Amino acid sequence: MNRTLNDIIPPSRRRTLEEDGSGTPPQMPPRPLSDRPSRPPRSPRSGRGFPYGTALIALIVIAGAVAALMYFSGAKVEVTPEAKSATISADFTATAGAGDLPFELVTVEKTASQTVPAESTDTVNDPASGKITITNTQAAPQTLIKNTRFQSPDGLIFRIHDSVSIPAGGSIVAMVYADVGGANYNIGATNFTVPGLKGSKAFEQVTAKSTEPMTGGFSGTRASVSQGTRDAQNATNQTTLEKSLTADLASKIPAGYVLIPGATFVTYMPQPDTEAEAGKVNVNQKGTMTAVVFPGEALGKAIAYKVIGAYNGETVTLPNVSGLKLLPALNIAPASGETTFSFNLTGTTNVVWKIDTAKIGGAVAGKTRDSAQVILQGFPEIKSASLVLRPFWASTFPQDPEKINISVVETGTSE
């Protein structure tokens, strides 16, 4: 069936056309091409190209993260040593330079002087004095009694004022005094023989020498002061000497040794007055300070054996001995050459177990964190240990102990 234009015109429009009489709809003139809206040009496909910039940034971030993890990677063991508070009141005997509890003597000397106006004159005859080192090459100790003579190559005689004992194959230092007064005995450093041993093998094996000049020898008249003035000035000298000697002594204590309160002995000896500038006198006094010192580890062991029941001889230290007090059995310092020193020790100190970092590193090398923790729990010197492995995926310590960082934490004490 053929359809006409009217067949597709809406009825309302068709009625209008019929009433108009034309029967055909009006024709619209064509729109110029320039009036037609233009389509926007199609943009290139967006979002479908490879995002090279984003990928590069992601790679940089990942590389940086890996580098940071590698930089901060490593193995670390932080150890807190075992420590105990020890209260002691016990007797000990130390031996010179050897044994379970050795001791050493540290001695320093100084002379202080005060210059005061002269009050009078005195006729004096002062002997020279000085130190000598006596050496014994025999296989047995040698005792020299008080007033034993020592002769210089020029025939000058000096004597010791106290008996001494020189150990076999060893030496001691002693003071000697000229037989007579006078400046002739103010001699320089020299060698000495022991006339009393002449005719025996010991004469060649027991010898002495000085390393400093003999001083103080004087005979004649010189300016002087009263004993009261001398005593007053020497009191000032003692105050000066005590500070100076204490400082010098502290600097001479061997590394690893400890000085306990009460183990220091001081003697003061007035020295002959000497003339100063016109009309003045130097009042002189010599101070000698001797300390008995012990290796800290050896003393720590000796104390631990006395007071810590579970102690089995591990290496320990004494970080601070200020709470201890030493009382010599004879209330005097051991003389040079003595081989034993007995004393009583009282007070409280901390005994701290010593950590061998090389031993710790070797024990955990190549072990897992859990295995290393169990191993370290078996070390009596360790109170606690913190183990760190980086990066987070690392499960074992390096095989090389040198690559494991071992640090020791300062510790307090436990009961």
CA distances to 151, 232, 369, 380 from 76, rounded to whole Å, are 67, 64, 11, 20
Unique residue bearing structure tokens 């923790």: 373
Residue 61 domain flag: no
To the nearest whole percent, how much of the chain has pLDDT over 90?
66
Cα gap 205→50, rounded to integer Å: 99
Residue 347 domain flag: no
Residue 228 domain flag: no
Enclosing domain of residue 172 = 124-222
What does the DSSP assignment read for 275-344? E-STTEEEEEEEEEEEEEEEEHHHHHHHHHHHH-TT--S--EE-S--TTEEEEETTSSPPPTT--EEEEE
Contacts for 193 with CB less than 8 Å, ≥ 6 apart: 150, 151, 203, 207, 208
Question: Where are any strands of DSSP class E within 186-253?
Answer: 191-192, 206-209, 218-224
Residue 295 domain flag: no
Give the pTM: 0.68
Q: How many domains does the chain fold into? A: 1
Tens-place pLDDT, residues 246-295: 999 999 999 999 999 999 999 999 988 888 888 899 999 999 999 999 99
How do beta strands 83-96 and 102-117 pair?
Answer: parallel
Cα gap 21→17, rounded to integer Å: 6
How do beta strands 149-151 and 102-117 pair?
Answer: unpaired
Burial class (CB in 10 A: 0-12, 13-18, 19+), 373: middle
Please give the single-letter amino acid code of residue 284.
N
Residue 102 domain flag: no
Residue 336 domain flag: no
Tens-place pLDDT, residues 142-174: 999 999 999 999 999 999 998 999 989 999 989
Q: How many CB atoms lie within 10 A of CB 225?
A: 22
Residue 175 domain flag: yes
> CA triplet 243, 244, 245: central angle to 5 degrees?
95
Cα gap 23→14, rounded to integer Å: 8
CATH number at residue 210: 2.40.30
Sign of CA dihedral 152, 154, 159, 163: positive
74, 390 contact by CB (below 8 A): yes
Sign of CA dihedral 174, 175, 180, 183: positive
Phi/psi at 215 (5° precision) = -135, 165
Q: What is the pLDDT along the chain (415 residues), one digit of tens a residue?
A: 454 444 555 555 555 545 555 555 555 555 554 555 555 555 555 455 667 677 677 677 666 545 544 444 478 999 999 999 999 999 999 999 889 999 999 999 999 999 999 999 889 899 999 999 999 999 999 999 999 999 999 999 999 998 999 989 999 989 999 999 999 999 999 999 999 999 999 999 999 999 999 998 999 988 899 999 999 999 999 999 999 999 999 999 999 999 999 999 999 999 888 888 888 999 999 999 999 999 999 999 999 999 998 899 999 999 999 999 999 998 888 877 788 999 999 999 999 999 999 999 999 999 998 999 999 999 999 999 999 998 778 889 999 999 999 999 887 555 5
Burial class (CB in 10 A: 0-12, 13-18, 19+), 69: middle
Residue 111 domain flag: no
Looking at residue 306, its pLDDT comes to: 94
